[in-house]
Amino acid sequence: MDCQCCNKKPARIRICDVEENNIGEQINVCPDCFNLIKRYMFDITKPLMTTPDVIREVQGLLTAGETSLATLPEPGGITPVGKEPVPVCPDCGMSLSEFRARGRFGCPRDYEVFAEHLDPLFERIHDVQPARHQGHLPEKTAGEEVVQRRQTVADLRKRLDAAVAEENYELAARLRDQIAELEAQPKAEERS
């Protein structure tokens, strides 16, 4: 049997869509087309499609030739190196291609780092245009001091460790007192 995608090479792989307990249409393809189909299906920027729809898209790419095939992400959703700049989040180390493969962000900052790639994705997922938040937001400064205090304490701890390592006990004692003071603050607030 010939591949139902390229209609040239012999079919070796059967794909079927499963929905709940029903098996949908079964399609036989060759290994080469299977690879392209896989790459198309796992591209997170594309809408979720049935196999027959994916095959139509891949057939379109096959007739269009080599250059359009290069736009497909590699299997597993990794964009070909050098084809596109790959932004990486400085906070959590997540790259755009890793985000695409996992479908999950690593940290809040990813939303800024990948900003220019997100609108089309959000517009599709949330079926809305423009992809802008419309609901409630807390005040910007809410809870800010909690974060600042936590970061300050973390910094002081690091300096304390360094001071102890250097056997600078005078500095270590001062740092220890500062940490104790900062950590006591929430309790003081509770009492008031």
Partner 1 sequence: MNEAFENFPHILGEWLKGTGPDSDIVVSTRVRFARNVRGFPFTGRASDAQRSDVLKLCEDALKQVHLDRSVVTLELDKLPELKRDVLVERHLISRELASGEGPRGVTFGRGEMLSIMINEEDHLRLQWIKSGFDVDRAFHALCKVDRALEKTLPYATSDRYGYLTACPTNVGTGMRVSVMVHLPALTLKENIDQVFKAAQRMNHAVRGLYGEGTRAFGDMYQISNQTTLGRSEEQIVEAIKAIVPKILEFERQRRGQLYTEDRSFVEDKVLRSLALLRSARRLNVQEMMSHLSMLRLGVDLGIISDVPVRTLNELFILGQPSHLQESEGRVLPASERDTRRAELVRSRLAAGSN
Q: Which of 27, 17, 23, 77 is nearest to 50 (CA)?
A: 17
Q: Which of 127, 117, 124 is nearest to 94 (CA)?
A: 117
- Cβ 35 to partner 1 shortest distance, Å: 26
Q: Rounded to an integer, what is the distance from CA 92 to the centroid of its chain?
A: 11
Q: Which of 32, 43, 41 is nearest to 4 (CA)?
A: 32
- Cβ 25 to partner 1 shortest distance, Å: 17
Of 32 and 43, the one with the shorter C-beta distance to partner 1 is: 43
Of 29 and 89, the one with the shorter C-beta distance to partner 1 is: 89
- Cβ 19 to partner 1 shortest distance, Å: 10
Neighbours of 37 (CB within 10 A): 20
- Cβ 163 to partner 1 shortest distance, Å: 21
Q: For residue 111, give both structure tokens.
A: 């939303």
Of 86 and 115, the one with the shorter C-beta distance to partner 1 is: 115
Query: Which residues of the shown chain bind partner 1 in the complex (CB under 8 A)?
Result: 91-92, 94, 103-108, 111-112, 115, 118, 121-122, 125-139, 142-144, 146-147, 150-151, 186, 190
CA dihedral 68, 70, 8, 43 (to 10 degrees): -90
Of 64 and 146, the one with the shorter C-beta distance to partner 1 is: 146
- Cβ 44 to partner 1 shortest distance, Å: 9
Q: How many CA atoms lie within 13 A of 138 on its CB side?
A: 5
Of 146 and 162, the one with the shorter C-beta distance to partner 1 is: 146
